[in-house]
């Protein structure tokens, strides 16, 4: 007999598509993990930490050196003052940060605003906390906020709004004007919390990343979540963090402690090395991703997909209605089995509108040769559908 809460969400479609990719020998453009190596100095630092016997529990809320490196990074990049002792909790990935923040700040029965399409974890996070998501559409093709729906949702005085910028799956980077709008409405309706997932903060091709915590009046009600997975190409290290005002941080730390005790100690030591990399590293990361984006997106348009060029993150959500009558799940399974390219069906990013039925998401966090092999397989798609 399993608990009700575990019955109300399905297993991750993204990770299921990775298994489908293995089954068919398909190129995995479904799950967002790089197939190229992470930075050598961080690997060396991790090995040194293990050999140096940093192998026991770290401080529950994060090794002091890493929390300091996080605080320094926010000052350097965003002019955002973060207190490493009172504002930071290091977690097992942004995934655990988001779950711990939900459990620490959201009560059963609370409403939480989520933009749709959304990263699939936010739904189960809400269920685990007993909260009800209120979906606000981002309108294709340019993923504009539906302002009327946002104003109506925030007027209900939900407990929190979840932001994600740069955005998975659309590649949208929220503009300064959109941040102004969100901050104004949050303050007007006295919404207690903005929970912002900024894991793709360093992968921006157009515009700029704007942390909403730096808006006037927002620091006190914002929890900023980010992590190492995407910035340092180390999704397997499971390191993330939450930055929040001290009262929220105390609650988040308690939940985090009893869920995990702490994040891996030797990897935290190595993470501090990466957090201190200079601007060259981050520029190089972004330029590499822009080349991958252009390679894949150009080929997808030629193959017959419709898309809006992503401004950030490393995904592209594509329409396939000019290619096939199938629904998104059948299309993604067919594409993996018959063409040899695995993607994620669009419906896993939508709950309310069903708009995902003619969409599929490609990830381009792969080596040029992996993307070229996928492009080759997709090149005569029109002939085989």
Q: Report the interface residues with ligand PLP, using CB under 6 A.
A: 32, 93-95, 119, 164, 168, 197, 199, 227, 229, 235, 240
Q: Which is nearer to ligand PLP, 38 or 381 (CB)?
A: 38
For the bound state, the minimum distance from the C-beta of residue 76 to ligand PLP, rounded and expressed in Å, comes to 21
For the bound state, the minimum distance from the C-beta of residue 233 to ligand PLP, rounded and expressed in Å, comes to 11
3-class SS of residue 50: helix
Q: Which is nearer to ligand PLP, 118 or 215 (CB)?
A: 118
Q: Determine if residue 112 is left, alpha or beta; phi over 0 gives left, psi from -120 to 50 gives alpha, anything else beta.
A: beta
For the bound state, the minimum distance from the C-beta of residue 20 to ligand PLP, rounded and expressed in Å, comes to 17
CA–CA dist 67, 254 (Å, integer): 17
Strands 315-319 and 240-243 turn out to be: unpaired
CA–CA dist 144, 150 (Å, integer): 11
Q: Which is nearer to ligand PLP, 240 or 356 (CB)?
A: 240
For the bound state, the minimum distance from the C-beta of residue 351 to ligand PLP, rounded and expressed in Å, comes to 16
Nearest to 266, CA basis, from 234, 242, 294, 305: 234
Q: Which is nearer to ligand PLP, 20 or 199 (CB)?
A: 199
Q: Which is nearer to ligand PLP, 134 or 344 (CB)?
A: 344
For the bound state, the minimum distance from the C-beta of residue 80 to ligand PLP, rounded and expressed in Å, comes to 20
Looking at beta carbons, which residue is closest to ligand PLP?
93
CB 223 within 8 A of CB 196: yes
CB 136 within 8 A of CB 178: no
Q: Which is nearer to ligand PLP, 62 or 240 (CB)?
A: 240
For the bound state, the minimum distance from the C-beta of residue 228 to ligand PLP, rounded and expressed in Å, comes to 7
Cα distances (angstroms) measured from residue 111 to each of 33, 127, 198, 269, 349: 31, 11, 22, 38, 19
CA–CA dist 19, 217 (Å, integer): 45
CA–CA dist 315, 213 (Å, integer): 25
For the bound state, the minimum distance from the C-beta of residue 354 to ligand PLP, rounded and expressed in Å, comes to 22
Nearest to 167, CA basis, from 140, 122, 197, 211: 197
For the bound state, the minimum distance from the C-beta of residue 91 to ligand PLP, rounded and expressed in Å, comes to 8
Q: Which is nearer to ligand PLP, 207 or 304 (CB)?
A: 207
Q: Which is nearer to ligand PLP, 224 or 339 (CB)?
A: 224
CB 253 within 8 A of CB 242: no
CB 217 within 8 A of CB 190: no
């Amino acid at each position: 007999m399993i608990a009700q809460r575990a019955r109300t969400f399905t297993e991750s479609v993204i990770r299921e598509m990775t298994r489908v990719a293995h089954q068919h020998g398909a190129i995995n453009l479904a799950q967002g993990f790089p197939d190229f190596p992470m930075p050598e100095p961080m690997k060396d630092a991790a090995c040194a930490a293990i050999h140096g016997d940093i192998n026991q529990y770290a401080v529950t809320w994060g090794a002091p050196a890493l929390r300091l490196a996080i605080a320094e990074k926010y000052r350097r990049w965003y002019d955002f003052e973060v207190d490493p002792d009172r504002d930071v909790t290091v977690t097992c990935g942004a995934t655990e940060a988001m779950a711990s923040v939900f459990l620490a700040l959201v009560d059963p029965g609370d409403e939480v605003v989520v933009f749709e399409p959304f990263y699939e974890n936010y739904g189960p996070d809400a269920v685990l906390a007993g909260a009800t998501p209120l979906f606000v559409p981002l309108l294709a093709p340019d993923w504009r906020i539906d302002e009327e729906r946002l104003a109506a949702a925030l007027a209900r005085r939900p407990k929190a709004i979840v932001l994600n910028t740069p955005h998975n799956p659309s590649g949208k980077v929220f503009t300064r004007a959109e941040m102004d709008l969100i901050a104004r409405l949050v303050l007007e309706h006295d919404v207690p919390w903005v929970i912002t997932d900024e894991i793709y903060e360093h992968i921006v091709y157009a515009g700029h990343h704007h942390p909403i915590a730096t808006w006037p009046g927002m620091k006190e009600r914002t929890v900023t979540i980010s992590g190492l997975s995407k910035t340092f190409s180390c999704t397997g290290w499971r390191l993330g963090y939450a930055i929040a005002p001290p009262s929220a941080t105390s609650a988040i730390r308690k939940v985090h402690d009893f869920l995990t005790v702490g994040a891996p100690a030797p990897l935290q030591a190595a993470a501090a090395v990466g957090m201190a990399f200079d601007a060259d590293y981050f520029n190089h990361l972004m330029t590499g991703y822009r080349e991958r984006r252009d390679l894949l997106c150009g080929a997808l348009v030629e193959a017959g997909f419709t898309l809006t060029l992503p401004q950030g993150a490393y995904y592209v959500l594509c329409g396939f209605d000019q290619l096939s009558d199938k629904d998104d799940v059948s299309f993604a399974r067919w594409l993996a089995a018959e063409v040899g390219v695995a993607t994620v069906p669009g419906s896993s990013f939508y709950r309310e509108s069903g708009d995902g039925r003619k969409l599929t998401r490609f990830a381009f966090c792969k080596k040029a040769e992996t993307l070229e092999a996928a492009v080759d397989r997709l090149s005569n798609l029109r002939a085989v559908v």
